[in-house]
């Protein structure tokens, strides 16, 4: 196989995988639904056994995702949260984990409700970029950059170098960027997790999650954890992700292009007080993001001007769907204060920068003129 294939080529075909050996020479891997595979009777093990342990279609998507990321190992899970929960399952009572303070809501719930009660201490860090050291008893650092929904940026290499000194593992939830824009393993992270539900699937029709790592021993124990927890990805859903992955680059290119135009439009609109995109917070974050990421992605937030009610605005949108989730071909808009961060108190939301006038936009692949007109109509109707 030619070396150094571009990312846009690698998402289309997993050239690292062996060619399909079935009698029909299909160009895509078949979906093997079997829950179990016959075994040799001489006491040896066949290549596949029971589906919870391994499955050829899941193997194909794991191989494809690892190939795209440039990682040694990948594990596929039923959801993004199943992947995150499996990463956290390697912690034990007494361990400390540091997380970005505006971490994904499900992750917050997991550490705050589930793991805290099992003696794992979670501490939320407002700005990792300002840290000069990490407490010695830290077992793991779990971060997102950019964050949701305030698009704050964390210097991944900086955190990785601090974590190395105390032997803490660094895990990055890279869902918003994907390896097309940002490669945490190259920046020193020990593992990357994804909600494959978002940009990998890309069509709002499948849930999936992934863990990627170059650490052989950790991979082996995470694989056992997934088998024990019973949370791997089904063959059908593995196929959906294999299919979605092929268009990741063309979708994200178009989505980023559209997002840049809409950001620019909103920045100049009198009914919008500010637009939050990677680097908005400070020159330092802007510089970090430019250094570690190839693009601003297609997710951003904006705040309506004082006195403007988001209900009135959202009601007038005709194309954009008012729904949580992100990364799909259709544009979704949501109200983080009531739809994502409703578990936080008003004071906690205020501190996190999530006002009642903040809206988050996940930009799709539609014609940007139509999207702009949709915003224009909705904004002018409330003036």
- Pattern 174-193, ligand PLP, x by CB under 6 A: -x------------------
Query: Which residue bears the tokens 């929904």?
Result: 149
> Does the footprint of ligand PLP cover residue 81 (CB under 6 A)?
yes
Restricting to residues 144-173, name those near ligand PLP by CB under 6 A: 144, 148, 173
Mark the segment that binds ligand PLP (CB under 6 A) among 35-43, 58-66, 77-85, 267-275: 77-85
Which whole-number Å values give the CA distances from 76 to 8, 172, 237, in the listed order? 22, 16, 10
Query: Could you tell me the smallest distance in angstroms from the CB atom of residue 144 to ligand PLP?
Result: 6
- Pattern 90-109, ligand PLP, x by CB under 6 A: --------------x-x---
Q: Token digits for 86?
A: 């499996």
Query: Could you tell me the smallest distance in angstroms from the CB atom of residue 230 to ligand PLP?
Result: 16
The Cα 275–Cα 169 span in angstroms is 33
Query: Which residue bears the tokens 């903040």?
Result: 358
Q: Phi, psi (5° rounding) for residue 360? A: -115, 135
Mark the segment that binds ligand PLP (CB under 6 A) among 75-83, 112-120, 220-228, 333-341: 75-83
Among residues 96, 152, 183, 198, which is the contact residue for ligand PLP, using CB under 6 A?
A: 198
The Cα 175–Cα 177 span in angstroms is 6
Which residue number, 30 or 106, has a Cβ lying nearer to ligand PLP? 106
Residue number, nearest CB to ligand PLP:
80
Residues that are catalytic: 52, 104, 173, 198
Query: Could you tell me the smallest distance in angstroms from the CB atom of residue 99 to ligand PLP?
Result: 12
Mark the segment that binds ligand PLP (CB under 6 A) among 16-24, 113-121, 125-133, 194-202: 194-202
> Does the footprint of ligand PLP cover residue 255 (CB under 6 A)?
no
> Does the footprint of ligand PLP cover residue 80 (CB under 6 A)?
yes
Dihedral Cα 317, 320, 324, 326, nearest 10 deg: -150
Which residue number, 81 or 272, has a Cβ lying nearer to ligand PLP? 81
Interhelix angle 235-245/56-69, nearest 10 degrees: 30
Among residues 101, 121, 177, 197, which is the contact residue for ligand PLP, using CB under 6 A?
A: 197
Query: Could you tell me the smallest distance in angstroms from the CB atom of residue 74 to ligand PLP?
Result: 16
Which residue number, 61 or 272, has a Cβ lying nearer to ligand PLP? 61
Among residues 149, 202, 209, 353, which is the contact residue for ligand PLP, using CB under 6 A?
A: 209
Chain residues binding ligand PLP by CB under 6 A are 79-81, 104, 106, 144, 148, 173, 175, 195, 197-198, 207, 209
């Amino acid at each position: 196989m030619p070396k150094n294939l571009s990312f846009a080529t690698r998402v289309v075909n997993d050239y690292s995988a062996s060619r399909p050996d079935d009698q029909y020479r299909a160009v895509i891997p078949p979906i093997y639904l079997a829950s179990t595979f016959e075994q040799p009777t001489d006491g040896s093990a066949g290549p596949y056994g029971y589906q919870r342990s391994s499955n050829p279609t899941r193997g194909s998507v794991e191989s494809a995702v690892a190939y795209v990321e440039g990682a040694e190992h990948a594990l596929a899970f039923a959801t993004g949260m199943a992947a995150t929960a499996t990463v956290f399952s390697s912690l034990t009572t007494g361990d400390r984990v540091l997380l970005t303070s505006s971490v994904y809501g499900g992750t917050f719930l997991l550490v705050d409700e589930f793991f805290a009660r099992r003696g794992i201490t979670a501490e939320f860090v407002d700005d990792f970029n300002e840290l000069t050291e990490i407490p010695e008893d830290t077992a793991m650092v779990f971060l997102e950059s950019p964050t949701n929904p305030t698009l704050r940026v964390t210097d991944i290499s900086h955190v990785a170098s601090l974590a190395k000194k105390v032997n803490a593992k660094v895990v990055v939830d890279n869902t918003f960027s994907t390896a097309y824009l940002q490669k945490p393993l190259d920046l020193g992270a020990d593992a990357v997790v994804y909600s494959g539900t978002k940009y990998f699937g890309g069509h709002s029709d499948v849930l999936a999650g992934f863990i990627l790592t170059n650490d052989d021993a950790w991979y082996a124990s995470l694989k056992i954890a997934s088998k024990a927890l019973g949370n791997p990805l089904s063959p059908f859903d593995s196929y959906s992700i294999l299919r979605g992955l092929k268009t990741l680059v063309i979708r994200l290119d178009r989505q980023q292009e559209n997002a840049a135009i809409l950001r620019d439009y909103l920045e100049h609109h009198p009914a919008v007080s500010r637009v939050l995109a990677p680097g908005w917070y400070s020159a330092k974050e802007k510089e970090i993001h430019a250094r570690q990421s190839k693009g601003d992605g297609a997710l951003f937030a904006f705040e309506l001007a004082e006195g403007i009610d988001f209900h009135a605005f959202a009601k007038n949108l005709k194309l954009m769907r008012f729904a949580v989730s992100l990364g799909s071909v259709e544009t979704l808009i949501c109200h983080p204060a009531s739809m994502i961060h409703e578990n936080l108190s008003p004071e906690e939301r205020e501190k996190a920068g999530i006002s009642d006038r903040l809206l988050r936009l996940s930009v799709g692949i539609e014609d940007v003129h139509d999207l702009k007109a949709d915003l224009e109509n909705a904004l002018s109707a409330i003036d």
